[in-house]
Amino acid sequence: MNSPLRDGAYSLDSTTPVDYEPDAPIDYSVASLTEIADHFKTDKGTIKHRYTSIYERYLAPMRSRQGLRVLEIGVACGASLKTWARYFRDAEIVGVDIREDCQRLCRGYGNISIVIDDARKGIGAGEFDVIIDDGSHISADIVEIFRSNWPSLRRGGLYVIEDLKCTHNPAYPRLTSIVAEPDRFRREHFISLIDKELRRMDWRQSDVEFIHFYRELAFIGKQDPASGDRVYRGG
């Protein structure tokens, strides 16, 4: 169902879920991640954040992997779930949201399922190769979601945290539709998480392989001691 919403609205939790479909498909097999993202109107592409060029550095080597599993926390209108579903050759995409209305989205996609649950408590849906936190962006929630869902990330997998500006934007508590205690918005929750993980890495007490930061983004790789493989080697 097409809708006259402005492009950026399809990724907002304040938007009533709309199951947007483009008027015509593109050749997903050759399109870049940014092209597919813009096609489905997720704000991960050029519509707003421009995350997809960074994502593709990490995800391109996985694009043809068989049996890939991707978990995204925060569904909105399902635009980014559809992006992953068309970008990867053979992937199961699981979206998680607390809003019941999200359950009716993406029904035309056999490789997408949507779970209505609180990701802070962990998602009992098996293991994943990629986990993306595009949820509340509240600092304390980010920590709880990471702690609860990191164990579900497979060795050699990738964990992504989006929209980190929200953890230090003083206006964010007023901008979000999510109600939370003021203390939960404090940047220190997130900073403490990162500091603890860096210390554990230094002491060889962690299965975190790397933590890479970009504008508003963190990419955290999980070690695979058996193979020595890394998700992204740089370059």
Burial of 184 (0-12, 13-18, 19+ CB in 10 A): middle
Tell me: the pLDDT tens digits for 69-124? 999 999 999 999 999 999 999 999 999 999 999 999 999 999 999 999 999 999 88
Residue 143 sits in a domain whose CATH number is 3.40.50.150
Instruction: Decide if 232 is inside a domain.
Output: no
Strand partners, 219: 160, 212
Instruction: Decide if 231 is inside a domain.
Output: no
Catalytic positions, please?
Answer: 137
Longest Cα–Cα distance of the chain, Å, equals 53
Instruction: Decide if 234 is inside a domain.
Output: no
| Domains identified in the chain, total number | 1
Tell me: the pLDDT tens digits for 45-60? 999 999 999 999 999 9
Please give the residue range of the domain that contains residue 30.
7-222
Instruction: Decide if 59 is inside a domain.
Output: yes
pLDDT higher than 50, residue 169: yes
Kindly state the helix (H) or strand (E) to which residue 189 belongs, with its residue range.
helix 187-202
Do the Cβ atoms of 75 and 96 come closer than 8 Å?
yes
Tokens of 56: 């593709």
Specify the residue for token string 């109107």: 41
Tokens of 90: 């053979």
Instruction: Decide if 141 is inside a domain.
Output: yes
R_g of the chain computed on alpha carbons:
17
The torsion of the CA quartet 166, 164, 114, 97, rounded to 10 degrees, works out to -30
Would you give the DSSP letter of residue 87? H
Instruction: Decide if 207 is inside a domain.
Output: yes
Instruction: Decide if 1 is inside a domain.
Output: no
Instruction: Decide if 228 is inside a domain.
Output: no
Tell me: the pLDDT tens digits for 191-234? 999 999 999 999 999 999 999 999 999 999 999 876 554 444 44
Tokens of 69: 């599993």
